[in-house]
Amino acid sequence: MKVTHILLIASCVLLSNTNHINLTSAVPDIDTLKGPTASTPVPANNNGTVTDPASTTFGTGTSSRLALYVPGNVYKDYPGWLPLYKALVFQGIPVTVTKDINVAKSHDTVLAYQAFQSKYLGFFDSLTWSGYVTGGNTLISIGMTSKDLFLRMAFGVGIDTNTANAKYREAIVLQKGQSPNSQFDFTDVRDTEIPLYREVADEGFPSIGYTLDWGTNSLGAYRDDEKNLDGKHGITYRSNVFGGRAVAIGIDLGAYIGEANGGKTRGIPRSYVAQYEPGYDNFLRIIKNLYTTSTSAGLVTSWPVPGNKGVHFSWTYDIDAQDSYELAYEVAKDLQSRGIGGTINWQAKLVKDAYDVASFSHYYRNISAVEALGNMELASHSISHSPNLLAFPVGTGKEIWDGSTYDETNYFPFVGQCTNETGVWKTNIPGATTCETPNDR
Ligand SMILES: *[C@@H]1O[C@H](CO)[C@@H](O)[C@H](O)[C@H]1NC(C)=O
Ligand SMILES: *[C@@H]1O[C@H](CO)[C@@H](O)[C@H](O)[C@H]1NC(C)=O
Ligand SMILES: *[C@@H]1O[C@H](CO)[C@@H](O)[C@H](O)[C@H]1NC(C)=O
Ligand SMILES: *[C@@H]1O[C@H](CO)[C@@H](O)[C@H](O)[C@H]1NC(C)=O
């Protein structure tokens, strides 16, 4: 707490030489900031009988989750799996992320992210997945380019798939009457077209256009920049004779969602930051529909508190720039109305950048307003980016940023598995004991 304020004041002094900001009016509120006097309560443990939620309500246990399959190096090559995962979870879909084909195929619904490109897919894996579909399961692929016959038969797509820059395939036009369970109402153009076009010519998404074969339906066809359907399909749907289903999505949905969430859409949909974006949601609605209508014996909903612990809810909010300053107040107010406290990781401006003027001339008011609500602890922004965030002790005030292990080239989202392995990060990150990290492999 204290350290944050000192940094903030120090940075004001540094900037006072620039003459860009009226610091006289900007500074005063800083001095009145103070955190809660008591430390954050440690979550209570209940020493009662431990029950296994998977065995009490649902016979199928956790295998009825949706498995997000990111084998081999996919998770490093395509970090878009992470925003995709988050988007699915925010839709209320319980998701297991796995690199392991045996774990993945034990689930009734699998979303294979970039996994069905030839470079990641062995012959026997193709057989496994085509058998998975004919065995009555639901398989959704994102970015399939494999020409493997078995896999193409499972998805019902011809061999002449082709890849193009999404700048030229301007939109995916959803096909009326062919979507599972009529999930589109088709009353608004925003519900029927998923825009892909970007203004930066060379940076359009690669999109994969599929041809239909084996009686496959089209859920969405590509439209080119002349507003003509280009004969290729961006979302295909095949209902297998044995009751399984296979859906191929022809754009990198993870990257698409990541761009939309980052407000860096440059002409793809509108901005998704604090706004509704129907194009983006249509993809997720298709996936959710497939998941909830899967042949699973029962859907497992989340049971977030292991071992019968008392429920402890805490919210951390990372402030970076612009909207996040002002929305911090909305979040804190909403949490307060629900009796919830949390932590706001407030950014102390130490450098001159695109946001410093706004930070000192306007947005300091927002943190004062948050502070006045009284339910949020204030902390330093940098801990939000710490690789050892998980290992921070709760409420002791000893949360520290361990800069010594930070390496820009190793900063990417990764699939971690808590196994008993050794590795560089294991020994360098204080408190990290058994979790696999990027440097392990
Ligand atoms: C700076 O803010 C103070 C307090 O609001 C005000 O009196 C003063 O006129 C401002 N100075 C400039 C240069 O805007
Ligand atoms: C369970 O109760 C015992 C005895 O009160 C206590 O020592 C122990 O710390 C408790 N366990 C947990 C996990 O809270
Ligand atoms: C946040 O700061 C902006 C810019 O000064 C201001 O317009 C807005 O009213 C503030 N909102 C709150 C809740 O403090
Ligand atoms: C990790 O493996 C070592 C060696 O097999 C074993 O002694 C240790 O108990 C294991 N630790 C955990 C947390 O499983």
Counting ligands in written order, the one closest to the CA of 23 is: 1
How confident is the model at residue 386, as a pLDDT?
Answer: 61
Burial 382-413 (b: 16+ CB within 10 A, else e): bbbebbbeeebeebeeebebeeebeeeeeeeb
Task: Give the mutation target among 42, 45, 308, 309 for probing the ligand 2 site: most ligand atoms within 8 A of CB.
Answer: 45
Residue 392 CA to ligand 2 center (angstroms) comes to: 22
Q: pLDDT tens digits for the chain (441 residues)?
A: 333 333 333 333 333 333 333 333 333 344 444 555 555 444 445 555 554 444 444 434 456 788 999 998 898 899 899 989 988 887 778 888 889 999 899 988 999 999 999 999 988 999 999 999 999 999 999 999 999 999 999 999 999 989 988 778 888 888 865 544 444 555 666 667 788 866 555 567 789 999 999 889 888 999 987 889 989 999 999 988 777 999 999 999 998 888 777 655 555 555 544 455 667 778 888 888 888 887 554 565 554 444 445 455 567 777 777 778 888 899 999 988 888 888 888 776 666 667 777 777 888 888 888 888 988 887 777 666 665 566 665 555 555 555 565 555 544 333 333 333 444 444 444 444 444 344 332
Amino acid making up residue 390: L
Residues 6 or more apart from 302 whose CB is under 8 A from it?
Answer: 94
How confident is the model at residue 199, as a pLDDT?
Answer: 58
Residue 19 CA to ligand 1 center (angstroms) comes to: 12
Check if 421 has its Cβ closer than 6 Å to any atom of ligand 4: no
Residues 6 or more apart from 249 whose CB is under 8 A from it?
Answer: 140, 141, 142, 143, 234, 235, 283
Check if 362 has its Cβ closer than 6 Å to any atom of ligand 3: yes
How confident is the model at residue 296, as a pLDDT?
Answer: 57
Q: What is the dihedral sign for C-alpha 356, 358, 362, 366?
A: negative
Task: Give the mutation target among 417, 418, 419, 420 for probing the ligand 4 site: most ligand atoms within 8 A of CB.
Answer: 420
Residue 368 CA to ligand 3 center (angstroms) comes to: 10
CATH number for the region 47-292 comes to 3.40.50.880
Question: Nearest C-alpha to atom 5 of ligand 4 is from which residue?
Answer: 420
Q: What are the boundaries of each domain within the chain?
A: 1-21+300-441, 47-292
The CB density around residue 6, as the number of other CB atoms within 10 Å, is: 11
CA pair distance 245, 241, nearest whole angstrom: 9
How confident is the model at residue 209, as a pLDDT?
Answer: 96
Check if 51 has its Cβ closer than 6 Å to any atom of ligand 1: no
Check if 420 has its Cβ closer than 6 Å to any atom of ligand 4: yes
CA pair distance 138, 296, nearest whole angstrom: 10
Task: Give the mutation target among 42, 46, 47 for probing the ligand 2 site: most ligand atoms within 8 A of CB.
Answer: 47
Concatenating the DSSP letter of every residue in 172-241 gives EEEPTT-SGGG----SSHHHHEEE---SSGGGPPEEEEBPB-TTPEEEEEEEETTS-EEEEEEEEEEE-T
Check if 24 has its Cβ closer than 6 Å to any atom of ligand 1: yes
How confident is the model at residue 406, as a pLDDT?
Answer: 53
CA pair distance 131, 118, nearest whole angstrom: 18
Distances (CA, A) of 252 to 79, 139, 171, 259, 290: 11, 16, 14, 11, 18
How confident is the model at residue 101, as a pLDDT?
Answer: 95
Instruction: Decide: 319 and 346 in contact? Cβ < 8 Å.
Output: yes
Maximal C-alpha separation, the chain:
74
How confident is the model at residue 75, as a pLDDT?
Answer: 87
Counting ligands in written order, the one closest to the CA of 42 is: 2
How confident is the model at residue 396, as a pLDDT?
Answer: 54
Residue 45 CA to ligand 2 center (angstroms) comes to: 7
CA pair distance 128, 150, nearest whole angstrom: 9
Token pair of 300 as six digits: 């497992």
Rama region for 229: left / alpha / beta (φ>0; ψ in -120 to 50; rest):
beta
Check if 47 has its Cβ closer than 6 Å to any atom of ligand 2: yes
Question: Nearest C-alpha to atom 5 of ligand 3 is from which residue?
Answer: 362
Q: Is 102 exposed, middle or buried (0-12, 13-18, 19+ CB in 10 A)?
A: exposed
CA pair distance 25, 11, nearest whole angstrom: 15
- Closest among 417, 414, 440, 406 to 77, alpha carbons compared: 414
